[in-house]
């Protein structure tokens, strides 16, 4: 059984001759297959983010279980339509006219100088916080964000920033805006967790297990592989180019958390992610000339055996550090010294040079947090314009891309139900013969609706926005309301009303009453059991 099967190798077709010896697609496949073919056994590959090249080893998928199915089955939680923040600067961009003088921050020296512009400069939202420092845009977004999140929330919030410096700015602005609303707040409520901080793994543990921090700002460190079930809010203050990476970032919030009765999570999109994401059909999990990170180079050491391959990897690591250090500010050199245990970058390079090839995998393993920090700063521009343009909020919309209005969403749902009443058997059963509905038919219906963009959480959010009425109605209630005009009542209210009638039918003996209460408890957790009592009790927990 191979977990994370998509990571078996990297498909690199245009590397130099030495790299081809140990990073070539065919060679990696052969090494991977040597292990898999050695045993006469069935091979099972598991992956949450299937890549096209995975099929070259395992063949086409024999079974897929999607995030949407896991939501329908209750193993993961769904999200509401994203909150899309519209501001003047996001809409119009930031422009300096030819001949203007603009303040420029040099990320290498940490100094600010003035630059005369020989041409007009136009910067759109995709370059905010990387090519331009715009405190006004960030403050407007964060001020609005504090209406939706607070320091005392039971759920946790994860904010994705563009760079390490940007993460510092976001932390400062959050603290300032919280103090305006709540007075003095605990200093550790809001925290930056990136590779630059001391002991990031300890900070992640506190984020998961302790009350504070409630809100964490990160760059890349928490995008994948971190499991904090209490995360209920994801905030995007940076563009994400890769849909696979975006899906993994969403995965940080899909876990169930019974302690806080988490049944959904929220997405706050400040930079127009949905407009910029490429469709699934054009996802390319492999590039022909990848920009390999330091972290990847170090991790690959463990898979190398030949001395010449280890020596080559050592040279690659040293060369990459040499290139990176040329662009560093004094502060980044200080950060490096802290993370390296007191070594300057030149001392660290000399130490790596002194290591024997076979010592590299063990010796460099403990410096992974430092390498992650060095990689996280790859988005930094050498020079960043400092914008003094004032920003202001235009609107907060709900939806995807060019956010559709809640009324339109509800109307399109109603049209879909009415137009497909005679085409989808389960729809007819829900409306005309609800007592015959089975779990299997309901699951098929939920997945069919989901493919068309209709889900329970989105319908609830649209109803709340359009009608100013917060109601926890289930999908069955929404279908019957649109098709038959039934009153929209919550799932809990519908079950309790039905069970109340049963409880009043007669004086039930204690054992039978206990069973009825168990059935009620289970019905509150799901829509249906089964029209046939014998089949209903074949399922858990009966």
Report residue 288's pLDDT band, with 50, 70 and 90 as the boundaries: very low
Q: Which among 150, 114, 33, 83 is positioned nearest to 388, based on CA atoms?
A: 114
Q: 132 vs 88, 102, 170, 379, 383, CA distance in Å? A: 16, 11, 15, 12, 9
Note the pLDDT tens digit of each residue in 447-472: 888 777 788 888 888 888 777 777 77
386 has a pLDDT exceeding 70: yes
Note the pLDDT tens digit of each residue in 63-73: 888 777 788 77
What whole-number distance in Å separates Cα of residue 455 and Cα of residue 264? 12
The residue with greater pLDDT, 142 or 60, is 142
Note the pLDDT tens digit of each residue in 186-226: 888 898 888 777 777 788 888 888 888 899 998 877 666 67
Q: Are 440 and 527 in contact (CB under 8 A)?
A: no
According to CATH, the superfamily of the domain at 77-288+375-403 is P-loop containing nucleotide triphosphate hydrolases (3.40.50.300)
Structure tokens given for 491: 């799932």
- Quote the pLDDT of residue 8: 55
What whole-number distance in Å separates Cα of residue 484 and Cα of residue 482? 6
- Quote the pLDDT of residue 234: 92
Note the pLDDT tens digit of each residue in 304-356: 878 888 888 888 888 888 877 777 777 778 778 888 888 898 999 899 889 88
- Quote the pLDDT of residue 425: 82
Report residue 280's pLDDT band, with 50, 70 and 90 as the boundaries: very low
Structure tokens given for 228: 């904090």
Quote the percentage of the chain above a pLDDT of 90.
13
- Quote the pLDDT of residue 381: 59
Q: Where are the domains of the chain?
A: 5-64, 77-288+375-403, 294-374, 404-536
Q: Per this entry, what is the length of the chain?
A: 542
Q: Which residues contact 269 (CB under 8 A, 6 or more apart)?
A: 82, 83, 84, 85, 236
Report residue 434's pLDDT band, with 50, 70 and 90 as the boundaries: confident
281 has a pLDDT exceeding 80: no
What whole-number distance in Å separates Cα of residue 512 and Cα of residue 507? 10
Structure tokens given for 288: 């022909």
- pTM for the model stands at 0.67
Note the pLDDT tens digit of each residue in 366-379: 888 788 777 766 55
DSSP-derived letter for residue 219 is: S
Widest CA span in the chain:
89
What whole-number distance in Å separates Cα of residue 244 and Cα of residue 248? 6
DSSP-derived letter for residue 45 is: B
Structure tokens given for 125: 């939202």
Note the pLDDT tens digit of each residue in 10-53: 443 344 555 555 555 555 445 666 777 788 888 888 887 666 66
364 has a pLDDT exceeding 90: no
Q: Are 181 and 146 in contact (CB under 8 A)?
A: yes
Helix or strand or coil: residue 130?
Answer: coil
- Quote the pLDDT of residue 15: 47
Q: 217 vs 161, 166, 524, CA distance in Å? A: 7, 9, 36
Q: Are 392 and 143 in contact (CB under 8 A)?
A: no
């Amino acid at each position: 059984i191979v977990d994370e099967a998509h990571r078996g190798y990297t498909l690199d077709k245009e590397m130099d001759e030495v790299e081809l010896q140990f990073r070539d697609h065919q060679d990696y496949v052969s090494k991977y297959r040597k292990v898999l073919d050695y045993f006469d056994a069935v091979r099972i590959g598991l992956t949450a983010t299937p890549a096209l090249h995975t099929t070259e080893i395992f063949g086409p998928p024999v079974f897929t279980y999607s995030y949407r199915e896991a939501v329908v089955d209750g193993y993961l939680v769904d999200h509401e339509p994203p909150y899309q923040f519209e501001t003047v600067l996001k809409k119009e961009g930031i422009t300096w006219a030819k001949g203007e003088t603009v303040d420029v921050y040099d990320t290498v020296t940490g100094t600010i100088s003035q630059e005369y512009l020989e041409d007009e400069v136009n910067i759109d939202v995709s370059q905010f916080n990387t090519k331009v420092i715009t405190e006004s845009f960030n403050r407007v977004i964060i001020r609005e964000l504090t209406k939706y999140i607070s320091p005392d929330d039971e759920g946790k919030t994860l904010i994705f920033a563009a760079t390490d410096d940007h993460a510092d700015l976001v932390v400062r602005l959050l603290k300032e805006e919280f103090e305006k609303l709540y007075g003095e707040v605990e200093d550790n409520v809001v925290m930056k967790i990136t590779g630059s901080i001391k002991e990031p793994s300890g900070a992640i543990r506190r984020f998961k297990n302790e009350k504070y921090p409630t809100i964490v700002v990160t760059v890349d460190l928490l995008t994948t592989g971190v499991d904090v079930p209490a995360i209920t809010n994801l905030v995007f203050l940076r563009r994400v180019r890769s849909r696979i990476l975006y899906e993994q970032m969403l995965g940080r919030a899909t876990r169930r958390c019974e302690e806080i009765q988490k049944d959904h999570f929220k997405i706050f999109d400040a930079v127009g992610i949905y407009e910029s994401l490429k469709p699934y059909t054009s996802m390319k999990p492999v590039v022909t000339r990848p920009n390999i990170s330091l972290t990847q180079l170090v991790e690959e050491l463990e898979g190398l055996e030949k001395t010449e391959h280890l020596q080559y990897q050592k040279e690659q690591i040293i060369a990459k550090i040499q290139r990176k250090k040329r662009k560093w500010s004094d502060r980044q050199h200080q950060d490096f010294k802290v993370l390296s245990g007191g070594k300057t970058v030149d001392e660290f390079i000399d130490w790596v040079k002194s290591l024997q090839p076979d010592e590299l995998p063990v010796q460099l393993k403990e410096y992974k947090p430092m390498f992650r920090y060095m990689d996280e700063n790859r988005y930094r521009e050498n020079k960043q314009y400092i914008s003094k343009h004032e920003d202001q909020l235009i609107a907060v919309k709900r939806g995807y891309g060019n956010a559709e209005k809640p009324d339109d969403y509800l109307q399109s749902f109603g049209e879909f139900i009415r137009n497909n009443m005679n085409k989808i058997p389960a729809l007819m059963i829900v409306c005309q013969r609800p007592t015959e509905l089975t779990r299997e038919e309901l699951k098929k219906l939920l997945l069919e609706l989901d493919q068309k963009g209709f889900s329970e959480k989105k319908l609830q959010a649209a109803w709340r926005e359009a009608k100013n009425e917060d109601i926890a109605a289930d999908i069955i209630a929404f279908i019957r309301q649109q098709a038959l005009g039934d009153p929209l009542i919550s799932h809990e209210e519908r079950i309790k009303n039905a069970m109340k009638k049963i409880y009043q039918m007669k004086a039930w003996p204690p054992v039978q009453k206990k069973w009825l209460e168990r059935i009620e408890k289970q019905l509150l957790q799901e829509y249906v059991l089964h029209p046939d009592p014998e089949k209903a009790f074949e399922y858990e927990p009966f």
